[in-house]
Structure 1
Amino acid sequence: MMRKLFVLLWALMTFGAAHAAGQSVVSSGDINAAGELRMLSQRLAKSYVQLGLEVVPAVALEQLQDSITRFERNLERMQSLAAVVPPTASSIERVRRDWSALRAAVVDPADRTRALLASRRSLDVLESADQLVRTLEAASDSAGARRVNQAGRLRMLSQRVVKAYMLYSWGADTAASRREMDSAADEFARGLTTLAALPDNTADMRAELSEIALQWEWLRTALSVEGAGSYRLVVAEAADSILAATDRLVRLYEHTESR
């Protein structure tokens, strides 16, 4: 109880200081943390499918556990915003409800049926977390926040496309899994093009974007190989590399905005 009261007091003090200074109470860091919820929902489901397929299971288990820890930490941060950005309260509650359902779906060992259920639950979390991001972005109303959101979607899509690929290669609702994979891949390509065209990208940003583009071409080549179960490991490793690079890009945009 005391901890909750402290969090609420901190949030109210933060709001008062920002209001007095004429600044938005929502920072790019908040939008980054909310956007990370989207990615973690897909990373958790992807890791669960990998466990079922026994694709580097030790790494997949570590990623699954890490995703749970980080998601719940970020969700607690979001809860502190509800007091000072009232429109977020309903979105946060929906994220919390959908997250509980997703966590329950990955408790038992994965088979194709459970993996599909986890994927569907992860999409519920993705949708509710995306609504939360949009609410925070509207409250922030800054170009930097929009860039953090855009780059954060790439981070999420790197995990979603591989989750769908793993399901497809497992023969789990192949038509729907293939549509999800293709849709996520197309959105990733468009988003990468949009960010690369921004005129005020720094040299560091351009370097990360080039690295992402290189890894993305490698991943798309692997995704296009039909019926090659041996490519699951290649796809998983490429996704991890893209996630690391997109996360660095998000933080570059975040730090530029916070200066």
Structure 2
Amino acid sequence: MMRKLFVLLWALLTVTVAYAGAQQGVSPGDINAAAELRMLSQRLAKSYVQLGLDVVPAAALEQLRDSTLRFERNLERMEILASALPSVAPAIKRLRGDWAALNTVVAEPADKTRALLASQRSLDVLDGAERLVDALEVASDNGGARRINQAGKLRMLSQRVVKAYMLYSWGADTAASRHEMESAADEFGCGLTTLAALPENTADVRAELSEIALQWEWLRTALLVEGAGSYRLVVAEAADSILAATDRLVRLYQNSESR
């Protein structure tokens, strides 16, 4: 009897320790990797639309392939993490299915109809990745995870707003594309303001935020030019610059939490 009681108590202790370990096991790098899935979903769709529009197609194809490889790598990391944190396993399983559906669309040559479908599928992936990031942020129980999450959202929005712009300039469901573009732009502006107001920002973070703000104003001006197909290249290049800057910002926040 005592032996059975000992075994039961040992099992309960093991579960408790495993749960605590899982809670502590969500690192800043895990939050960043999950948040990057959001960005990659929109970068992939944006690159696919660029291919259809023949806007720097070689670069767009390279970005599409790179986004696919990085998404797979990060998703595999999440699947490994799920073994220690079972609560996120359903979200990861759903994300895997939505990702497969998006990949099926972009495997075919891009036209206006397929570009719209790719955008819709990318939003399904984005929604699943968003849920995953939020779940990991809660599991991490770390205030720094929120900053990584917020900065990572800017990284995603830099791609989403340009994806919607490309669709709008192509005449693909113009009302919905314009709404998505304007909503993403507004969200980017609000997110940038929120991060800039954080009192714990270091000098390096403040400098990066100032650079992003300058680049964003320039891109926002280009987005407002009505019906200018010639601006597609300008907007695409601006998106790449802002993506690089927001990625640096995420890593500054990540490094500050990893020390």
Q: 1:195 & 1:164 partners in 2: Cα distance?
A: 24
Residue of structure 2 in register with 1:38 after alignment:
38
Q: 1:183 & 1:235 partners in 2: Cα distance?
A: 17
SS at match of 2:242: helix
Answer yes or no: is 1:204 the counterpart of 2:194.
Answer: no
Pairing of 1:1-150 with structure 2 (within 5 A): 19=20, 24-150=24-150
Pairing of 1:232-251 with structure 2 (within 5 A): 232-251=232-251
Q: 1:17 & 1:117 partners in 2: Cα distance?
A: 42
Identity of aligned residues (%): 77
Q: 1:133 & 1:122 partners in 2: Cα distance?
A: 16
Q: Root-mean-square deviation (CA), in Å? A: 1.5
Residue of structure 2 in register with 1:5 after alignment:
none
Q: 1:23 to 1:48 in 2, by over 3 A?
A: closer
Q: Give the C-alpha shift of residue 193 in structure 1.
A: 0.2
Q: Give the C-alpha shift of residue 252 in structure 1.
A: 0.4
Letter in 1 for 2:165: Y
Q: Structure 1, residues 136-183: CA drift from partner, whole Å, max 9, x if none?
A: 000012110000000000000000000000000000000000000000
Q: Give the C-alpha shift of residue 112 in structure 1.
A: 0.3
Q: 1:172 to 1:75 in 2, by over 3 A?
A: same
Answer yes or no: is 1:167 the counterpart of 2:167.
Answer: yes
Residue correspondences, number = 244
The structure that has the greater radius of gyration is 2
Q: Give the C-alpha shift of residue 83 in structure 1.
A: 1.1
Q: 2:182 & 2:133 partners in 1: Cα distance?
A: 24
TM, length-normalised to structure 1:
0.92
Q: 1:36 & 1:202 partners in 2: Cα distance?
A: 23
Q: Structure 1, residues 100-123: CA drift from partner, whole Å, max 9, x if none?
A: 000000011110000000000000
SS at match of 1:58: helix
Letter in 2 for 1:146: R
TM, length-normalised to structure 2:
0.92
Letter in 1 for 2:53: L
* 8 A Cα contact 2:52 2:111, kept in partner: yes
Letter in 2 for 1:140: S
* 8 A Cα contact 1:18 1:25, kept in partner: no
Where do 5+ consecutive residues of structure 1 fail to align?
1-14
Q: 2:23 & 2:64 partners in 1: Cα distance?
A: 37
Q: Give the C-alpha shift of residue 16 in structure 1.
A: 6.8
SS at match of 1:79: helix
Letter in 2 for 1:138: V
